[in-house]
Amino acid sequence: MTSAAFASKHRPGGFLEHNLGHLLEGLEAVSRAEAISDTSGLLQRLSPRSKIISTLLLVAGVVASTSIPALWIALAGALVLALASRVQTQMLLRLTWGSVLVFTGAVMLPSLVMTPGPVIARIPVVGWQVTATGFHIFLLLLTRAEASATFLVLLVLTTLWPRLLAAMQALKVPAVVVALFSTTFRYLILLLETSVEMFQSRRSRMVGPLTPAAQRRLLAATAGTLLDKTAALSQEVHSAMQSRGFRGRVYLLKQETASWHEVMPILVSLAAAAGLVLAH
Amino acid sequence: MDGAGGSARESLFELEGVRFRYAEADALNGVCLPIYPGQRLALVGANGSGKSTLLRILDALLFPSSGSIRFRGQALTEERFADDDFAYSFRKQVGFVFQNSDAQLFCPTAFEEVAFGLLQLQRPQAEVAHRVHHALESLDIGHLAHRPPHRLSGGEKKKVALASVLVLEPDVLLLDEPTAGLDPRSQTQLIEILDGWKDPAKTIVTATHDLHMLEDLAETCAVLEQGRLIASAPPAQILEDRGLLERANLIHAHRHSRAPHSHSHLGLHRDGS
C-alpha cells in the first residue's frame, strides 16, 4: 500500500498512522528515486563522474551569478534536463522547489523590508516598506537556491546510489568517506524498515486513540529501542567487517579511468557556468 | 558420549576450559573442544546456549575470559591479533557467515560486498574482479551483482553473504544458523552449496538448533546447554538420545488435547519455536 493510500484509508491525525505514513513515504521515496535512476533518460545515460563535475560547475556558476534572468534561464534549463530524464515536474516541485521556497523565503523575507532603497510597495496593517533593492536581493537569492537545489536533486535522482559512490571514489574522495556514505545509506534504509515494522506491530495491538502522554511515551520507547538496535547492529557490522580482514583502513574497488566522451558534458556545463557568471 | 573422533589427528582448533562472560551472565562455561581439519561439526543448543558466542570465539572476534583457544597450534589472543600479518593470515583461513545477513551486507552492491574481503586482504584488483565473478556465478547469483542489499530477498541475502566468505577460499567456514529464516527451497539450495564445498581440507562448523537439517549439515554434533558442552557424537546418535535433547531444551513434550485420545509426545524445536 502506498503512503498516500495508507493515509486516505486511516483516521487522519492518528499518532501511529501519522508516523507510519511518514516512514512509508521515506521508503517509497527511495524506491521512486531508484526507479528513476534506472530508466533510460538523458542524464541517466551520462557517466556519474562527469555528472558530478558538471553539477558542481553549474552550481558554482549559479552561486556566482548576479543576473536574475540568467538564473531563470538556468532554472528553465534544469527543467528541460529533468523532462528529458523522465523526472516528473511534480516530483521536483515537492522535493525541491516547494521546500526551498519555504526555507529560503523565510530566511530572506526580512531583507524585503530591511534593505535600504527606493520603496515599491507597502505592507498593509504593519505599514512596512518593501524596497526595490530588497526585492532584487530576495529574488536573486531565492532563484540561486532554487536553481542550485534543482541541479543537485537531478544528480541524485538520475544516478543510482552505488554508481554515485563509485564516481566519488574515482574523483579521489577518500575511501573512508565513500565507505561512510555507503554504510549510512544502507543502514538508514534498514532502520526505516525496522521502524515501519515496529509501528505496524504496535498498531496491530492497539484499539482507539492514544492520549498525548501515551504518544510521548511510545515515541520515547521507540527511539530508545531503535537506538539499542542501532548499537547492536553497528557492533555486528563491525564484527562482520573484521571477520573479512578489516583492520581500520578501507580498501575499495578501483574505478575505470576517465574516457573522452565523459568530457563533453563537462565542457557544456563549463560554458553554461561561465555564461551565468558573465551575464549582467 | 565423548570425543569427536579422530583424536589421533592434530587438531585445527583446540579449546581448553573456555569461559566467556558477558556483563550479566556466563555465555560459555569451561568448554573443551577439539576441531579437526576436514571435520563437519554442528554446534547444537537452544537459544542462549552459547553457540553464537562460541563461533565468535572461533573467529577471534571475541576472546575467552579464561581458558585458551589455539588455531593450528597458535594461541588466539588479542595480543596476537595486534600483529597485522598474523591477523591477515588468520582471516584468510577462517570465514564466518553471520546469522543476520543484514549485518554482513554493508556495501552498496552485491559485487562490492563479495569483493570487500579480498580488497581488505589487499589482493590485486584484477584477481578480485575475477574471483568475485566466479564466486557469484558458482552460487548462481551473477544476476544480482549490481543490486543493492535492500533489493534482495532473505535467501538472496544469505547467498551473497555466503559468497562474500567463500570468495576468500577459507579453510574453515563458520556458519551461524545458516538455515534460519529461509524457505524450504532456499534451505535445500544452501545445503547443496555446502555439499559442493566438500573437500578433505575444508572444515565447516555450523551453529544451529534446527535438528531436521542436522544430518545434512554435519557428521559430528557438539551439544551445548547453558554454556557447557554436554555431549559430542554423530548426529544419528544425538538425535536418538531423547533424554539428552530434552535436557538441552531442543525438544519438548507436545500435547494433542483435541485428538480422539489425548496424548503427548516429544516434539522438535524448529527455528526457535
Is the pLDDT score of A1 beyond 50? Answer: no
Give yes or no for residue A43 having a pLDDT over 80. yes
% of chain B surpassing 90 pLDDT:
59
CA distance A86 to A100: 22
Quote the distance between the C-alpha of residue B25 and its chain's center. 23
Place of cell 555431549: B231
Query: Model confidence over B177-201: pLDDT tens digits?
Result: 998 878 888 888 888 888 887 777 8
A38 touches B at CB < 8 Å: no
Whole-number pLDDT of residue B2? 41
Which cell goes with A87? 523526472
pLDDT surpasses 70 at A187: yes
> Residues 6 or more apart from B86 whose CB is under 8 A from it?
B74, B80
Most confident of A10-14, A26-30, B134-138: B134-138
Which of B83, B98, B100, B102 has the most A C-beta neighbours within 10 Å, making it the best mutation to test the interface with A?
A: B102
Give the closest residue to B172 by CA, choosing from B91, B113, B53.
B91
**Rounded CA gap, B1 and A210, in Å?**
58
Tracing cell 546469522 back to the chain, one arrives at: B99
- Given a cut of 70, whether residue A6 has pLDDT beyond it is no
Distance CA A108, CA A102 (A): 10
* Per-residue model confidence (pLDDT) at position B260: 57
**At a CB cut-off of 8 Å and minimum separation 6, what does B84 contact?**
A247
Average pLDDT taken over every residue of chain B: 87
A243-277: burial string, b at 16+ Cβ within 10 Å, e else: bbbbeeebbbbebeeeeeebeebbeebbebbeebb
Between chains, do B148 and A193 touch, taking CB under 8 Å as contact?
no
Q: Is the pLDDT of residue A33 over 80?
A: yes
Q: How confident is the model at residue B268 (pLDDT cuts 50, 70, 90)?
A: low
- Kindly state whether A241 is in contact with chain B, defined as any CB-CB distance less than 8 angstroms: yes
Residue A258: pLDDT band by 50, 70, 90 thresholds?
Answer: low
E-assigned strands of chain B?
13-21, 26-35, 40-44, 66-71, 74-75, 94-97, 172-176, 203-208, 220-225, 228-233, 251-256, 263-268
What residues have CB less than 8 Å from A117, skipping those under 6 apart?
A: A131, A132, A133, A134
In the chain, the amino acid numbered B244 is: L
Place of cell 588455531: B71
Cβ contact (<8 Å) for B106 and A241? yes
From CA B71, how far away is CA B67, in angstroms rounded? Answer: 14
* Alpha-carbon B180 to chain mean position: 12
Whether B11 shows a pLDDT value over 70: the answer reads yes
Amino acid found at B108: P
Mean of the pLDDT values across residues B213-227?
91
Cα(A135)–Cα(A111) distance, rounded to whole angstroms? 8
**All three cell numbers of B133:** 565473478
Residue B135 has pLDDT above 50, yes or no: yes
Which chain A residues are within 8 Å of B122, Cβ to Cβ? 251
Q: For residue A189, which residues of chain B lie inside 8 Å, CB to CB?
A: 150
Over residues A97-116, the pLDDT tens digits come to: 888 999 988 888 888 888 88
Query: Considering only A2-11, A185-194, B163-172, which range has the smallest mean pLDDT?
Result: A2-11
Query: Positive or negative, the Cα torsion across A81, A82, A85, A89?
Result: negative
pLDDT reported for residue A4: 47
Q: Of A155, A159, A189, A162, which is closest to residue A252 (Cα–Cα)?
A: A162
If you ran DSSP here, which 8-state letter would residue A171 be given?
T
Sheet holding B220-225, edge to edge: B94-97, B172-176, B203-208, B40-44, B220-225, B228-233
Q: Are A94 and A143 in contact (CB under 8 A)?
A: no
Closest Cα partner for B176 from B105, B119, B104?
B104
Quick: pLDDT tens for B95-124: 999 998 988 898 889 999 999 999 988 899
**Interchain contact A183–B (C-beta under 8 A):** yes
* Contact residues on chain A for B165, CB-CB shorter than 8 A: 244
Q: Which residues in chain B touch residue A246, judged by CB atoms under 8 angstroms apart?
A: 116, 120
CA distance A156 to chain B (A): 15
Phi, psi (rounded to 5 degrees) for B227: 80, 0
Residue of A nearest to B99 (CA): A236
Q: Which residue matches cell numbers 498593509?
A: A124
Helix ranges, chain A (H): 3-9, 15-37, 42-45, 48-64, 68-84, 89-92, 98-114, 132-157, 161-170, 175-204, 212-243, 263-278
Q: What is the pLDDT of residues A63-110, one digit of tens each?
A: 999 999 999 999 999 999 999 999 988 888 888 888 899 998 888 888
Q: Does ipTM surpass 0.85 in this model?
A: no
* Cα(A227)–Cα(A8) distance, integer angstroms: 31
Nearest to B218 by CA among B186, B175, B249, B163: B175
Contacts of A192 in chain B (CB under 8 A): none
Confidence of residue B245 (pLDDT cuts 50, 70, 90): confident
pLDDT band at A125 (very low <50, low <70, confident <90, very high): confident
pLDDT at position A7, please? Answer: 46
Selecting from B56, B102, B112 the residue whose C-beta is nearest the C-beta of A253 gives B112
Q: Which of A30, A162, A241 sits opposite B146 (nearest CB)?
A: A162
**What DSSP state is assigned to residue B222?**
E
* Nearest of A151, A147, A153, A155 to residue A70 by alpha carbon: A147
pTM across the whole model = 0.76
Residue B142 has pLDDT above 50, yes or no: yes
pLDDT given at position A247? 82
Residue carrying the nine cell digits 573479512: A244
Of A167-176, A199-208, A238-247, B166-175, which one has max mean pLDDT? B166-175
Q: Which three cell numbers stand for residue A53?
A: 563535475
Q: What is the pLDDT of residue B6?
A: 44
* Mean pLDDT rounded to a whole number for chain A: 85
> Chain A contacts of B91, Cβ < 8 Å?
243-245
d(CA A140, CA A125): 27
